[in-house]
A and B are shown apart, each in its own frame.
Chain A
């Protein structure tokens, strides 16, 4: 019986994940994003199969978040509306590219970052917590605008707001996903 209950709970979580993931992808589409680099991780990975079913967002899998940022920068300079999907650790990996390409050249891009190790990360542990607690100071040191999303309330609007901001600034804007997005 325990095993069956466990399966039911797990399915419930998957439904939440899939519903939020669908809304996230739809929000990106509605905001005009049509190109995304990614290095998959655990919290938001459900967006990828949904995106693959639809050709409206061109996907570029990468081996490092650093090249994810640089490839996205090239695509943005070629006329794409770009996003980079990465784990929070990817922000650290890509800091050099963010600074020397995206920030220095002034390239609009949306960073979709799973905020691992943050206070509301439902899977937080000693493995992740240091990465989470340093995230905001690092983004502020880079001079990047960020917004923390805890749940799906007005998700599509928040994505659209962030995309409008990235175009206005001509800089990366970061959405950090935690709380409900990390169950």
Chain B
């Protein structure tokens, strides 16, 4: 299983959910496959999960989907006990664990290529629902209720290394444009202003 085929399956199932991605290949692939206005393509390692938690707490009636990676999560493991204790029931976290720092272009292994097990770490932090999936069918079965349903979900998706994102043309939508598009989408769908202040 590779991450791209998971995203191909997920993208058409995102309707009114909010999606936050971290960095590198998954940001490029998700941005290529999904033109959803509720995508926040962070482009920052170690921050997607926390930003997603903040969105989930601010908008408890909206489903928030976080697309994380092993390298990004390992950078901010303190997120896990915080997530467990805050426990937003409208949040689903998918950690695409390819066991490498793909951005290095030399496939340097992450700690999950060694002894670290993100599902066990998450459970130890108090996220009782953490699971690991290892093939596409299992992914679909687990992801379907996580995308649409209720409850805090934490899914570690074991994927093979793939380099397809390097062939995808990069977006020219910069971070500020992405932010404003995202915020205007929320203002439209929530019927309230997000940023205060007028010119």
Interface positions of A (Cβ within 8 A of B): 32, 35, 58, 60-64, 66-67, 70-82, 96-97, 100-101, 104-108, 164, 167-168, 170
The answer to whether B50 and A63 touch across the interface, beta carbons within 8 angstroms, is no
Q: B85 on the interface (CB 8 Å rule)?
A: yes
Chain A residues with Cβ below 8 Å from B53 are 60, 67, 71, 74
| Contact for B59 among A62, A79, A81, A82, CB less than 8 A | A79
Instruction: State the CA gap A164–B179 with chains docked (Å).
Output: 20
Residues 77-118 of chain B: 1 if any A CB is under 8 Å from the residue's CB, otherwise 0? 011011001100000000000000000000000000000000
Residues 12 to 51 of chain B near chain A (Cβ within 8 Å)? 20, 40, 42, 44, 46-47, 50-51
Instruction: Check A73–B81 contact: CB distance below 8 A.
Output: no
Counting chain B residues whose Cβ lies within 8 A of the other chain, the interface size class is 35 or more
Q: Which residues of B contact A35 (CB under 8 A)?
A: 57-58
Q: Which residue of A lies closest to B80 (CB)?
A: A63
* Stretch from B129-137, B140-148, B153-161, B186-194 contacting the other chain: B186-194
- Chain B residues with Cβ under 8 A from A58's Cβ? 57
Query: CA separation between A104 and B43, bound complex, in Å?
Result: 10
Q: Is the CB of A74 within 8 A of B195?
A: no
Q: Is the CB of A67 within 8 A of B195?
A: no
| Residue pair B51, A106 in contact (C-beta under 8 Å) | no
B183 at interface, CB cutoff 8 A: yes
Assuming the contacts A67-B76, A97-B47, asked whether A74 and B54 have C-beta atoms less than 8 A apart, the reply is yes
Report if A70-B51 is in contact (Cβ < 8 Å); known contacts: A35-B58, A77-B179, A106-B179.
yes
Given contacts A60-B54, A74-B20, list 6 more A-B pairs with CB under 8 A. A70-B47, A74-B51, A101-B42, A105-B176, A167-B195, A167-B196
A-B interface, 9 closest residue pairs, ranked by CB to CB distance from nearest: A74-B54, A78-B58, A70-B50, A74-B51, A75-B54, A167-B197, A71-B54, A63-B78, A100-B44
**Is A60 a contact of B57 with CB atoms below 8 Å?**
yes
Q: Is B71 an interface residue (CB 8 A)?
A: no
A170 touches B195 (CB 8 A): yes
Q: Chain B residues with Cβ under 8 A from A73's Cβ?
A: 47, 50-51, 54
Please list the residues of chain B having a beta carbon within 8 angstroms of any beta carbon in chain A.
20, 40, 42, 44, 46-47, 50-59, 76, 78-79, 81-82, 85-86, 175-176, 179, 182-183, 186, 190, 192-197
Checking B54, B81, B186 against A63 with a beta-carbon cut-off of 8 angstroms, the contacting residue is: B81
A73-B51, A96-B46, A168-B197 known; A105+B58 contact, CB < 8 A = no
Which residue of A74, A167, A168 contacts B55 across the interface (Cβ within 8 Å)?
Answer: A74
Contact (Cβ within 8 A) B86 A60:
yes
Q: Distance in Å from the Cβ of B149 to the closest Cβ of chain A?
A: 20
With a cutoff of 8 Å between Cβ atoms, the chain B residues found around residue A105 in the complex are: 42, 175-176, 179
Q: Which of A79, A82, A96, A168 contacts B186 (CB 8 A)?
A: A79
In the complex, residue of chain A having the shortest beta-carbon distance to the beta carbon of B23? A100
Is A77 a contact of B54 with CB atoms below 8 Å? yes
Q: B58's contact among A62, A80, A101, A104, by CB below 8 Å, is which? A: A80
